[in-house]
Amino acid sequence: MIKSTLASVVTSLLIIIIYHFLFNTKTSYVFIDNTKIYEGFSMKVRYQKDIENQMLTNKNKLDSLQLQLKMLVMQEETQPNVELKNQINNLNNRIKQFQTEATESASALAERYENQIWSQINQYVKEFGKEHDVKIIFGATGNGSLMYADDASNYTDKVLEYINTKYEKGE
C-alpha cells in the first residue's frame, strides 16, 4: 500500500516535471542594458529638455542680475556714494541666493524626474515580461553584475521600443 502510494506520488512528480520542461514556452532569461534603456527612454528625453529649459531660464535671469550689478558698479565708480554701495551689496546677496536656490531646485527636479523615469521603466519592463512570456529580465549596468550573456539574450532594443511605444501612447 505505501509502495503504491509512493510510486504514484513519484510518477505524478515526474509527469509534472516533464510537462514543465516540455510545454513551458516562456523564454528563460534575458537581459537589458539599463543605461541604454534609460538614455533612450522618451520620457527621459522629454524631462531632460524640461531641465535644460529651466537651466536656460535661470541662466538668463542670472545674466540679467549680473548685468544690473555691472551697471551699478560702473555707476558707483563714477559717482561713489553709500546708497549705490548698499544696492551693490544687496544685489550681490540676491545673486548668491538665486544661484543657491537655482542649484537646489535643479537638483531636486533632476532627482524627482529620475525617480519617475525609473519607476515608469520598471513598470513597463514588468509589463513587457508578462506580455512576452519572459521569466526573468536582468538589468545589466556594465559594472560586472552580468558578466556574460549571448547576444540572443539581449532584449535591450525590444524593451526600449516597447517602453517608448507605451509611453508615447500614454499608457
**133-170 pLDDT tens trace:** 888 888 887 666 776 777 788 888 999 999 999 999 98
Q: How far apart are CA 11 and CA 17, in angstroms?
A: 10
Q: What is the overall mean pLDDT for the chain? A: 85
Residue 133 DSSP label: T
> What's the full length of the chain, in residues?
171
H/E stretch holding 38 reads helix 34-40
Residue 137 CB contacts under 8 Å (≥ 6 apart), including other chains: 30, 31, 32, 125, 128, 129, 155, 159
Provide the pLDDT confidence category of residue 63 given band limits of 50, 70 and 90. Answer: very high
pTM greater than the 0.75 cutoff: no
- 9-13, 27-31, 43-47, 80-84, range with the lowest pLDDT: 9-13
* CA–CA distance, 11 with 171 (Å, rounded to integer): 46
pLDDT value at 1 more than 80: no
pLDDT confidence tier of residue 26, bands split at 50, 70 and 90: low
Exposure on the CB side of residue 71, measured as CA atoms within 13 A? 6
> In the predicted model, is pLDDT for residue 24 greater than 60?
no
On the question of pLDDT at 94 being above 60, the answer is yes
Nearest to 47 by CA among 151, 95, 118: 118
Can you list the domains of the chain with their CATH numbers? 2-169 (3.30.910.20)
Residue with cell 511605444: 165
pLDDT band at 52 (very low <50, low <70, confident <90, very high): very high
Q: What percent of the chain clears pLDDT 70, i.e. is strictly above it? A: 81
Do the Cβ atoms of 51 and 109 come closer than 8 Å? Answer: yes
Task: Return phi, psi of residue 133, to 5°.
Answer: 50, 45
